[in-house]
Structure 1
Amino acid sequence: MTLPISNSAFSYALHYEDSGATWRLSSFLLEHIPFHHENLVFCCIGSDRSTGDALGPLTGSILSNFVSFPYKIIGTLEEPLHALNLSQTVDSFENHKVPPFVVAIDACLGDQKRIGEILFQPGPLLPGKAVKKELPPIGDVSIKGIVNFGGFMEHTILQTTRLNITYEMSNRIARALYLAWHRHSLKKVHQRHYESHN
């Protein structure tokens, strides 16, 4: 769970209920996530013990159910990526032969009128800041979902967040990522087909 968002902290935002949200989000992700990268990793941060903080592991589980999705996914409902194992996970990236490009996904708190927005920003996110935890930054880019309002009693707010909004946002993010990868794959096929006929 990251800190509340300021207006200058992200480069793209849309509400999960917006018309065509999955397609529009996939179009943006297709342009800003290197699906061709040799070691693309999705880190889905959060806990299955809190409805508000479950956006990450829910997204990870939904992505894992897309059996053709070829990338490494860290953080699911079954095996969450949270405060107890995040530092170890970040440290493990240093041992990779090919340094990973990490897409970090997490829930966040924000203004009440912006609940339900999905945000994309370049650079890492800081997990746990909203609940006063000191954890290492993670991600080359990050995707956040505003699941509830912030500013006070964050632990209680997270525990009383409706599971439906967390699930629907997770589902939208996962489907947009899957669609973006599928569109990337089709573009490669079309490019090869074009080159073979020229």
Structure 2
Amino acid sequence: MAIREQGNGKRNKLNAAGLSPFFQEIAELHPVKGITFLCIGTDRSTGDALGPLTGSKLLEYGFPHVIGTLPSPCDADNLLVRLAGIPAEHTIIAIDACLGPPVALGYFFASNEPLQPAQSIGLLLPAVGHYSLAAVVDINGPKPYQTLQTTPLYRVMNMAEHIAKAAAAGFRLYL
């Protein structure tokens, strides 16, 4: 997904410190047992591994409902099937990597609206999530697929850790 292509502008640009309040606001409205984290991406691309890395870390923090982990990624091939398995009464927080302008690199875009996965590589998938978080893992350019393949893993791992730690703090789950 390229952040510049995201909808109506109701996304808040956050640094890592701004993530905890985002999750805390959700936690005040929804108990953790009714939340499903939908962490989109694949472990076959460093840039797109943000979702599975985050999902695995969320499980380590004790979140009960996480789809998309390193052992079991949620990607374009299985997204629809994985969505069908989420209970209708659950609130979905969708998390995905994205590409953006240089000034957004390393930032997060949070929204109380769905996100559109796989836009940067030209796929048409349904918008997902009641809430969403897009992490700008690299700069958008003419070859988005190649950019995601060559994104520094260290950056992606740090961003995944920031998301998981902030979610745990927001929902008051601690190791």
TM-score by length of 2: 0.89
SS in 2 for 1:167: helix
- What are the residue-to-residue correspondences of 1:31-180 with 2, within 5 Å? 31-33=25-27, 34-36=29-31, 38-66=33-61, 69-93=62-86, 96=87, 99-180=89-170
SS in 1 for 2:85: helix
- In the alignment, the residues of structure 2 paired with residue 11 and residue 83 of structure 1 have an alpha-carbon distance, to the nearest angstrom, of 23
Q: CA deviation at 1:130?
A: 0.9
Q: Per-residue CA shift, 1:113-134, capped at 9, x if unaligned?
A: 2100011012111111110012
Q: Identity of aligned pairs, percent?
A: 34
State the AA in 2 paired with 1:89. Answer: R
Greater Cα offset, 28-37 or 106-115: 28-37
Q: CA deviation at 1:144?
A: 0.9
Residue of structure 2 in register with 1:26 after alignment: 20
**Contact 1:60 1:76 (C-alpha < 8 Å) held by counterparts:** yes
The verdict on how the C-alpha distance between 1:168 and 1:100 changes in structure 2, with shifts beyond 3 A counting, is: same
- In the alignment, the residues of structure 1 paired with residue 91 and residue 70 of structure 2 have an alpha-carbon distance, to the nearest angstrom, of 23
TM-score by length of 1: 0.80
Larger radius of gyration: 1
SS in 2 for 1:174: helix
Aligned pair count reads 172
Q: CA deviation at 1:178?
A: 0.4
Q: CA deviation at 1:152?
A: 1.1
Show structure 1 runs of 5+ residues with no match.
Answer: 186-198
SS in 2 for 1:5: helix
Q: CA deviation at 1:9?
A: 2.6
